[in-house]
Structure 1
Amino acid sequence: MLKTAYSPYWLILCIALGLVYAYVLYSRKKEPWTPVWNKVLFALRFLVVSIIGYLFLEPFLSIQKNTSEPFKIIFLWDDSESVHKSEKDLQNYWQNIKQLSNDLENEKGVDIPILDLEGNDLSEQDNIQNLRKISPLNTAIKNIGENFDKRLISEVILFSDGIYNQGISPDYYAFPFQLSTVGLGDTTAKKDVVLQQISYNKVAYEGNQFPIEADVLHTGFAGVTTKVILLQNGNVLSQKNVQFENEQGVTSIQFLVDAVETGFQDYKIQVEVLEDEFNTQNNSKNAYINIVAGKKNILLLAPYPHPDIKALAAAIDGNDNYDFTLAIDGISEDQIKNLEDYDLAILFHLPNINNSFDVEIRKLKNSEVPLWFVTDPKLNVRRHNELNESVNLVPSSESDQAFAVFNSNFDLFELSNEHKELLEDFPPVSMPFAKHNFHPLSKALFLKRVGNVYTEEPVFVFYNNNDIRQATLLIQDFRIWRMVEYLNTQKHEFFDDWVMKSIRYLTAKNQKDRFKVFPKKEAFADNEKIEFQVEIYNEVYDRIYGIPVQLEINSSKDSVFNYEFTPDRLKPDFIVGNLPGGIYKYKASATIQGKGFESSGQFVVEKFDMESQNLQANFNLLKRVADKNEGKFFYSNQISELQDYLNAKEYPRVLSGESETVPLTQNLIPYILIFLLVFGEWFIRRYFGSY
């Protein structure tokens, strides 16, 4: 269909222009040709002018193209190590899966990609290598809906042992396609002792005692006694005897440890290996704890009681490394100590129009105590904007029910991928409707999402001007996150994590060194690349580049790694690569404008071996996933039943259409037509002796 970029009414003007032009040229002059040829010339000039005018309307051809595509049956293969360690004759089973895929493609005309948990196509692989260190089943299934056209997905078949150790459970919600599952591995409970988890604070303060708690899961060892040992650098600090009373259960053991030496300390908890244990690789775990000097004092000021305060207080009070003071106007303001002794003040819904704690807030500001603002619509906006250097609030009493999402560009500290996923699934909370003004140096941890629309509007920001640090939380009713997280996971890990990491950042002291080299995280997994951030400044603290840097890394096992690199504007940081588990000390040196500078510190690499912790397949989970997504569950030896199930379904091709626009001005035909018309008019006039 021929259309134009402008209104079709402009076509009338083009026709009128052609008629007027031809009429002026051929109506009033006596020419040496007959009236019949005069009409022919009139028509030729009319067409030329009208067509040229029409081309100025940017005409285009709209072409509808219809295509038919085959349905897809997607085989999702769990390529984690736990499947490799528990499924017998895995390679023969892989060949059966490939044969099933080929048979269905030939008989039914469907497309069957075989994907691993990361979305890579395994269809061409003759042998399968299950080496993945994690099992993010929910994320892998969710990615299929994002990477494929859902209209073309007839069904997804998940081949897995049902063990997941990253992200939320895959039976948490239904997926937008039919999903069947095939159980791999062995569900039989083996005689085993598993150090299931160890719980500890990652930071402790020198001179204090801190707990390390171990949960030991035992199966098949009723009446047996074993030892749980706490070691540091190979030396036994403490050990406890544990008797397993029942055939299966979990026993908790707590050790109290003295924080003697500052810096990262490596503690290892080990359960003595028993005879006939099925898996001895899950009997020990390491705890890397950073011992620092002195506790931090946290003050929270509030004009009235509020449920959100209780959520914040629960996160802070649960950490023995902080002294927490809560002062509520008219109720407990006498709890406040010397204001200059506080390392952070949380101003909850302050400053307000009643000037609650106004004197204290002024003193905190003058003392350069870091401030964390938690806003609400009833703030004294003018006073707030005087105190807050990062956010200039726009007066508004309106609020929005919206979601919070993690900002992928945030680099001040890390939240785990599992916690980022949890945040995506939390219910909406109250956020400001107005668009506030943010300082260019502000960095947002959380952004606002309205429905399915991701915005760039910050709702939790941090600010650092090298003299003082501030944070602003523009969310109300965030206690809902803590409640929903506990409802889904029976833990408060995500809520406590973002609160405590925010406090740790705000209470850290700024350093005005001209040479800074530090790891981007305090703790890495041994399957992660170690990345260092490098900052070099001249005498007036302008950042400079092109200075060679020498880096020496020493492990606790006396291994030494030496590197040399030159940061530039495009690559200011340095990636070391993977390192084995342990505590590492580093020292970087550089010569800046003839002076030598050094920067040193510590970081931890944690051994990442989640796949060896649990080798008992969870078919009940796979059955729930299949039921929730209108699929079926099959055992691994039911490959023929799976083939019959898929053969019984019909897979019609999916018809889809798309409209393609072709600009007529980019086609030679109208220009050839204009040339022929102009040439014809010129030839006739020339033939009769005119121009």
Structure 2
Amino acid sequence: MCLAVGAGYAALLYSKKAPWSQAVNLGLAALRFVLVSLLCWLLLGPIFRRDTTSQEAPTVVLAVDDSRSVPLYSPDSTALRNTLRGLDGLAERLRQAGYAVQLRTLDTVAPAQVARVRFQQSATNLDALLTDLQDSYQGRNLAAVVLASDGLANQGRPPVYADFSYPIYPVALGDTVPRRDLRVTDLRYNRVAFAGNRFPLEAEIGYDGFPRGGTATVLLRENGRVLERRQVALSPNQRLQRTRFLLSAAAPGKHRYEVLVEAQPGEFTQLNNTRNAYIEVVKGRLRVLLAGAAPHPDLKALRTALLGNDNFDVTLVLPGIEPLRAQQDYDVAILHQLPSRTGEGRDVLNYVRSRRLPALYILGAQSDLAAYNGLGTGLRVSGGTGAEVAPVVNGNFTRFTLDADAQARVADYPAVPVAATDAQVGGGAEVILRQQQGRTRTARPLLLVAGPAGQRQATLLTEGSWQWRLHEAATHPDDRAPAYDGLITRLLQLLTQDSRRKRLDVYPTQDAFNTPDDVTLGVETYNAVFERVYDQQISLTLTDEQNRPRTFRFTNRPNGGPLRLGPLPGGVYRYTARATVAGQAQEDRGELLVQEQQLEAGAAHADHNALYQLAQRSGGRLYYPQQLQQLEQQLLQAKFKPVIYSQEELKDLIDEPWLFLLLVLLASAEWAIRRYSGSI
């Protein structure tokens, strides 16, 4: 059809008598025929198929445990460096054989060569390293992983219990022979104590290399001052001894107690001779009124989360089952589906309003939304039960923060039904969790807080949060549900913050930081009518336990994030912040805790048995540094094959640039010939 259109068009145009020769006329007709035929064909939208193939060489990953324990438990540093150079040689020969070789370490950025690895990581999470490799190379040609490690993992789940889709060939580093050593292996204590009470602290002392026994001196110190001294017998038939201290809780605040076992001659390291206990002394428990319109799984989840923290005292109230004791005082209330459609729990609502208690409202199918809208919580809701949504942490919320692990757990929570289809956030309200519907993240709130200090109100727009705690406990059976529990406890602590209305408010974004963490402080400034103001010059003096001050100066910006102090050594720090707001000097004081963890020196020797089990479970084999040549032969004899990928691509012909040029060329040629021959 396209050819017929082209032929007809050319015949119609060039059948008349022309001022040029017959040959030129036929040539022009041919050009017009081809041009019109091509245009008609392109109008039909032709497509063509393009098949492309690519080849991916088999990849071998050299995963190096660059934690501090590797050189600590390697008696010969020269032999360790020779092993690293041997791994570089192995990588080069594998590349020459056609393999792709990649280097990974516990650090996020790996050096170009194994010999340049610096063993500086303060913790070892082999499971995270190996799981990240599995995720990164999913669907790709990952042939094998060579893991150079001492087998000591002190974070994450034990990798021997995980299933990996690739064979692992461990290279065992370090020495498995116990050397003479004394160490504080564990401290057992309650993290919260009440002022004026006495509380126990139990220290576990591990030892090796004392065949004739002996005694060890254990000291308990605070701020360098020895509080108590104990003598512990080192029985030759045991490797652990325990000793118990009884302390008196001093003034409220954060306290660090140091347990030290004095070094003895011949110990191979003193890094593990000290451990710190971090205890917060409080005036009393936070009294929580937990009330619901009816029995519900949420109530059990919330009660369990709070009772796991010694800082909370929980009273459950259910209309007709557990009545309200009006003579009892509370610090904060959790109101589950109150106010309710049935009118249950009016006495609880009246009690909360009359006492002006901070409250967390949890909305559900039985909530009276109209009555809730009259409470002035900073949120107005309407509509019935909405679609199921999953929680997403709002990264702009800085009154408290969740660490990366907790945020990952929250992101994995199941979707739950939201209590209202429409939610309007009022001025001054801050969103903690947003709603995610399917794969779409929305700006709609799921959990928010509003109001001034001492009168804050929070709202959770779902009655399904019990599913979050259940899911977290099921997927992380070793540590229950710290993300859910931490979110609830920190929310209540935020609601009950000091009711004094401070115009300069500086606060730690976490209850406690670890030494590798970036220490951050939230900063808020207010004008005379307690409206948030920004661009204020603030000076902060941070003082450590030796009374050494450091000064920071900064300006708080809208959406500027918290003040970042960077990693700090372990200890209790006190800070004083000063600013001039609207011509008036303002000051705020507080303290923060940085926990020092000597994780890498907690063992007595390397754990090659764990590496052997990991190799057996994954289909690999354990090798030692002197067996790198056998490892190379094993990898080469496996004859891992490259993977060929074929991809079919359908493309519109009209998108080809050369076709456009051809059309322009045909039209230009016809125009030029006609012009040259004396007619346009």
The two structures share one fold, judged by TM-score above 0.5: yes
Name which of 455, 458, 469 aligns with 1:470. Answer: 458
- The yes-or-no answer on 1:232 pairing with 2:222 is yes
In structure 2, the residue matched to 1:187 is: 176
Q: Once the two structures are superposed, what CA deviation does each residue of 1:641-683 show, in whole Å capped at 9, x if it has no partner?
A: 3223212211222222456788877766444433443344335
Name which of 49, 65, 80 aligns with 1:78. Answer: 65
Name which of 287, 305, 328 aligns with 1:297. Answer: 287
In structure 2, the residue matched to 1:259 is: 249
Counterpart contact for 1:429–1:476, Cα < 8 Å: no
Q: For residue 390 of structure 1, report the CA deviation from its aligned partner.
A: 4.6
Separation (CA, whole Å) in 2 of partners of 1:685 and 1:250: 104
Separation (CA, whole Å) in 2 of partners of 1:623 and 1:130: 22
In structure 2, the residue matched to 1:432 is: 417
RMSD: 4.1
Separation (CA, whole Å) in 2 of partners of 1:213 and 1:492: 26
Counterpart mapping for 1:370-385 below 5 A? 370-374=358-362, 377=365, 379-380=367-368, 383=371
Q: For residue 78 of structure 1, report the CA deviation from its aligned partner.
A: 0.3
Q: For residue 71 of structure 1, report the CA deviation from its aligned partner.
A: 0.9
Q: Give the 3 Å change call, closer, same or farther, for CA 506–183 of structure 1 in structure 2.
A: farther
In structure 2, the residue matched to 1:288 is: 278
In structure 1, give the amino acid aligned to 2:61. Answer: I
- The yes-or-no answer on 1:620 pairing with 2:609 is yes
Name which of 255, 259, 271 aligns with 2:261. Answer: 271
Structure 2: 5+ residue runs without aligned partners? Answer: none
Counterpart contact for 1:192–1:219, Cα < 8 Å: yes
Counterpart mapping for 1:565-604 below 5 A? 565-569=554-558, 571=560, 573-604=562-593
In structure 2, give the amino acid aligned to 1:95. Answer: R
Counterpart contact for 1:82–1:615, Cα < 8 Å: no
Separation (CA, whole Å) in 1 of partners of 2:17 and 2:312: 106
Q: For residue 99 of structure 1, report the CA deviation from its aligned partner.
A: 1.6
Q: For residue 355 of structure 1, report the CA deviation from its aligned partner.
A: 3.3
Name which of 579, 596, 611 aligns with 2:600. Answer: 611
Q: For residue 144 of structure 1, report the CA deviation from its aligned partner.
A: 1.7
Q: For residue 611 of structure 1, report the CA deviation from its aligned partner.
A: 1.1
Counterpart contact for 1:448–1:459, Cα < 8 Å: no
- Please, which moves more after superposition, 44-53 or 518-527? 44-53
Separation (CA, whole Å) in 2 of partners of 1:434 and 1:449: 14
What secondary structure does 1:360 align onto? helix
In structure 1, give the amino acid aligned to 2:417. Answer: P
Separation (CA, whole Å) in 2 of partners of 1:154 and 1:63: 30
In structure 1, give the amino acid aligned to 2:312. Answer: Y
- The yes-or-no answer on 1:560 pairing with 2:532 is no
Q: For residue 329 of structure 1, report the CA deviation from its aligned partner.
A: 3.1
Compute the TM-score of the two structures, normalised by the length of structure 1. 0.82
Q: Give the 3 Å change call, closer, same or farther, for CA 538–492 of structure 1 in structure 2.
A: closer
In structure 2, the residue matched to 1:514 is: 503
Q: Once the two structures are superposed, what CA deviation does each residue of 1:552-594 show, in whole Å capped at 9, x if it has no partner?
A: 2222212122233344457564433343332222222223333
Q: For residue 282 of structure 1, report the CA deviation from its aligned partner.
A: 1.9
Name which of 187, 191, 203 aligns with 1:214. Answer: 203
Name which of 119, 122, 137 aligns with 2:111. Answer: 122
Name which of 69, 80, 94 aligns with 1:90. Answer: 80
Q: For residue 297 of structure 1, report the CA deviation from its aligned partner.
A: 0.7
- Please, which moves more after superposition, 220-229 or 233-242? 220-229
Counterpart contact for 2:535–2:557, Cα < 8 Å: yes
Counterpart contact for 2:397–2:430, Cα < 8 Å: no
- The yes-or-no answer on 1:174 pairing with 2:163 is yes
Q: For residue 79 of structure 1, report the CA deviation from its aligned partner.
A: 0.4
Separation (CA, whole Å) in 2 of partners of 1:139 and 1:105: 26
- The yes-or-no answer on 1:332 pairing with 2:335 is no
In structure 2, the residue matched to 1:3 is: none
What secondary structure does 1:171 align onto? helix
Compute the TM-score of the two structures, normalised by the length of structure 2. 0.83
Q: For residue 326 of structure 1, report the CA deviation from its aligned partner.
A: 1.7
Counterpart contact for 1:83–1:185, Cα < 8 Å: yes
Q: Give the 3 Å change call, closer, same or farther, for CA 496–128 of structure 1 in structure 2.
A: same
Separation (CA, whole Å) in 1 of partners of 2:261 and 2:117: 34
Counterpart contact for 1:430–1:475, Cα < 8 Å: no
Counterpart contact for 2:144–2:169, Cα < 8 Å: yes
Counterpart contact for 1:119–1:143, Cα < 8 Å: no
Separation (CA, whole Å) in 1 of partners of 2:242 and 2:300: 28
What secondary structure does 2:542 align onto? strand
In structure 2, give the amino acid aligned to 1:463. Answer: V
Name which of 65, 71, 74 aligns with 2:52. Answer: 65
Separation (CA, whole Å) in 1 of partners of 2:397 and 2:612: 39
Separation (CA, whole Å) in 2 of partners of 1:323 and 1:216: 34
Counterpart contact for 2:184–2:204, Cα < 8 Å: yes
In structure 2, the residue matched to 1:7 is: none
In structure 1, give the amino acid aligned to 2:160. Answer: D
In structure 2, the residue matched to 1:528 is: 517
Q: Once the two structures are superposed, what CA deviation does each residue of 1:324-357 show, in whole Å capped at 9, x if it has no partner?
A: 21223333225x3447x32222234555444332
In structure 1, give the amino acid aligned to 2:572. Answer: I
Q: Give the 3 Å change call, closer, same or farther, for CA 63–391 of structure 1 in structure 2.
A: farther
In structure 1, the residue matched to 2:540 is: 551
Separation (CA, whole Å) in 1 of partners of 2:669 and 2:308: 93
Q: For residue 619 of structure 1, report the CA deviation from its aligned partner.
A: 2.6
- The yes-or-no answer on 1:634 pairing with 2:623 is yes
Name which of 145, 148, 161 aligns with 2:150. Answer: 161
Counterpart contact for 1:368–1:468, Cα < 8 Å: no
How many matched pairs? 668
Counterpart contact for 2:433–2:447, Cα < 8 Å: yes
Q: Give the 3 Å change call, closer, same or farther, for CA 512–116 of structure 1 in structure 2.
A: same
In structure 2, the residue matched to 1:6 is: none
What secondary structure does 1:634 align onto? coil
Separation (CA, whole Å) in 2 of partners of 1:237 and 1:431: 52
Name which of 336, 347, 354 aligns with 2:335. Answer: 347
Q: Give the 3 Å change call, closer, same or farther, for CA 493–533 of structure 1 in structure 2.
A: closer
- Please, which moves more after superposition, 358-367 or 130-139? 358-367
What secondary structure does 2:100 align onto? coil
- The yes-or-no answer on 1:112 pairing with 2:126 is no
- Please, which moves more after superposition, 441-450 or 319-328? 441-450
- Please, which moves more after superposition, 626-635 or 204-213? 204-213
Separation (CA, whole Å) in 2 of partners of 1:245 and 1:140: 39
- Please, which moves more after superposition, 52-61 or 121-130? 52-61
In structure 2, give the amino acid aligned to 1:432. Answer: P
Name which of 87, 99, 103 aligns with 2:89. Answer: 99
Separation (CA, whole Å) in 1 of partners of 2:589 and 2:80: 48
In structure 2, give the amino acid aligned to 1:322. Answer: F
Counterpart contact for 1:518–1:601, Cα < 8 Å: yes
What secondary structure does 2:113 align onto? coil
In structure 1, give the amino acid aligned to 2:608. Answer: F
Q: For residue 112 of structure 1, report the CA deviation from its aligned partner.
A: 1.5
Counterpart contact for 1:459–1:475, Cα < 8 Å: no
Separation (CA, whole Å) in 2 of partners of 1:416 and 1:211: 30
Q: For residue 225 of structure 1, report the CA deviation from its aligned partner.
A: 5.0
What secondary structure does 2:569 align onto? coil
Counterpart contact for 2:151–2:172, Cα < 8 Å: yes
What secondary structure does 2:466 align onto? coil
Counterpart mapping for 1:353-368 below 5 A? 353-365=341-353, 367-368=355-356
In structure 2, the residue matched to 1:5 is: none
Structure 1: 5+ residue runs without aligned partners? Answer: 1-11
Separation (CA, whole Å) in 1 of partners of 2:470 and 2:528: 49
In structure 2, give the amino acid aligned to 1:78. Answer: D
What secondary structure does 1:359 align onto? helix
Separation (CA, whole Å) in 2 of partners of 1:372 and 1:576: 32
